[in-house]
Amino acid sequence: MKRLISIGVSLAILLLIYWQIDFAELLQVFRQSDRLWLAVSLGMVVPLTGFTAWRLQQLMPASPDTTQGLDFGESNRLILAASSLNMVLPSKMGDIAKAYFMRDRGHLTGSLALSLVVFEKACDMLSLLLWCVFGLLLYPAKDWLFWGMTVSVATGLVLGLLLLGSPGFAQFFFKRAHQIAPKKLKLKINKLSYSWKEMHDYFWGDRRRLSLIAGTSIFIWFLHLLQIWLFTLSLRADVPFLANLALSPLAILAGLLPLTFAGVGTRDAALIAFYQPYMPAAVGAALGVLTTSRYFLPALGGLPFLGQYLKLAQEIRMSSK
């Protein structure tokens, strides 16, 4: 039911956007786009998936009977299938299925496998916030709204770094969250707290692995933001790269709000609003379409592998009831 509501909200926002934009003008934007840059920017999905799969390999320890816990091809299939599952199942079930598969493949405990995925997602979020703060600090045209967003994003970054780097602060945070959370969320917070502690013990016991994963995550998110800037080039919009470092993460963060299906609608509206100084609304809407393709192309690529992991995800949902 929640998924149907989110799809409805996405459709409502898109209808509002396209009601205000001449659809013929939007089509004209794509007709006049630079086909070479469009191909290059869309093609970046391939190396981005590859780097993300390589990071997943480094996250997972070697199993006792193999030299490596997860081979590169298998890691790619798992990343693509998780993208597909996240599109069709609620609550990021694809990432949870990824944790269960890592448990079975690497002979890990379930909590450790979940903690590895938690750490992967935490690194992604902190890397996105890091680039956003960097871009916002250098963004020249800051009014009170952008200063407020700069402070908010920087606060989120500091809080995330404290959660990741300080076991004491993390324990205090989860304890307070448990006290004020609704009854339905208390069990999930307890599980997350336990996984977070196990993640601390695992990664802070190996500083080399910690540095490798953190550095790779920052580089991966640089490529994500570079891809969006290449989208603007393909649409023949003149957007400074440093401005893109500030604006594109804000739009991505807007898409993470739990209101819409895969961020569709909220992310599109944010792109039109934030990039308004550099492009008309029709070009901003086209940028929204291309940015959404970053999520749908990997999901399409994961369809051939979806059967195996969908069965696993269903088993997870049944066992959690």
Q: What is the pLDDT along the chain (321 residues), one digit of tens a residue?
A: 666 788 888 888 888 888 888 888 889 999 999 999 999 999 999 999 999 999 988 887 655 544 446 788 888 988 898 888 777 665 566 677 777 777 766 556 667 777 788 888 889 999 999 999 999 988 887 788 888 888 999 999 999 999 888 888 988 988 888 888 887 788 878 878 887 888 888 788 788 888 999 999 999 999 999 999 999 999 999 999 999 999 999 999 988 887 777 788 899 999 999 999 999 999 999 999 999 999 999 989 988 887 766 666 566 556 555
Please give the Cα distance from 163 to 34 (Å, whole number).
43
What was the pLDDT predicted at 114? 78
CA nearest neighbour of 139 among 32, 240, 24: 240
Structure tokens at 285: 């809407």
The CA angle 61-64-65, to the nearest 5 degrees, is 120
Global pTM value: 0.88
The answer to whether position 8 is within a domain reads no
Please give the Cα distance from 164 to 208 (Å, whole number).
16
Distant-in-sequence, close-in-space partners of 132: CB < 8 Å, separation ≥ 6: 153, 245, 246, 249, 250, 253
3-state SS track over the chain: CHHHHHHHHHHHHHHHHHHHCCHHHHHHHHHCCCHHHHHHHHHCHHHHHHHHHHHHHHHCCCCCCCCCCCCHHHHHHHHHHHHHHHHHCCCCHHHHHHHHHHHHHHCCCHHHHHHHHHHHHHHHHHHHHHHHHHHHHHCCCCCHHHHHHHHHHHHHHHHHHHHHHCHHHHHHHHHHHHHHCCHHHHHHHHHHHHHHHHHHHHHHCCHHHHHHHHHHHHHHHHHHHHHHHHHHHHCCCCCCHHHHHHHHHHHHHHHCCCCCHHHCCHHHHHHHHHCCCCCCHHHHHHHHHHHHHHHHHHHHHCHHHHHHHHHHHHHHHHHHC
The answer to whether position 20 is within a domain reads no
What was the pLDDT predicted at 165? 85
What was the pLDDT predicted at 66? 43
The answer to whether position 260 is within a domain reads yes
What was the pLDDT predicted at 93? 65
Q: Whole domain around residue 65: which residue ranges?
A: 37-320
CA dihedral 168, 166, 257, 318 (to 10 degrees): -70
- Per the CB < 8 A criterion, the answer to whether 98 and 316 are in contact is no
What was the pLDDT predicted at 140? 81
The answer to whether position 6 is within a domain reads no
The answer to whether position 24 is within a domain reads no
The answer to whether position 27 is within a domain reads no
What was the pLDDT predicted at 1? 65
| Count of domains for the chain | 1
Helices 266-274, 2-20: inter-axial angle, 10-degree rounding: 30
The answer to whether position 44 is within a domain reads yes
Please give the Cα distance from 278 to 168 (Å, whole number).
45
The answer to whether position 211 is within a domain reads yes
Please give the Cα distance from 141 to 277 (Å, whole number).
10
What was the pLDDT predicted at 321? 52
What is the Rg, in whole angstroms, of the alpha carbon atoms belonging to the chain? Answer: 20
Please give the Cα distance from 244 to 43 (Å, whole number).
19
- Per the CB < 8 A criterion, the answer to whether 241 and 83 are in contact is no
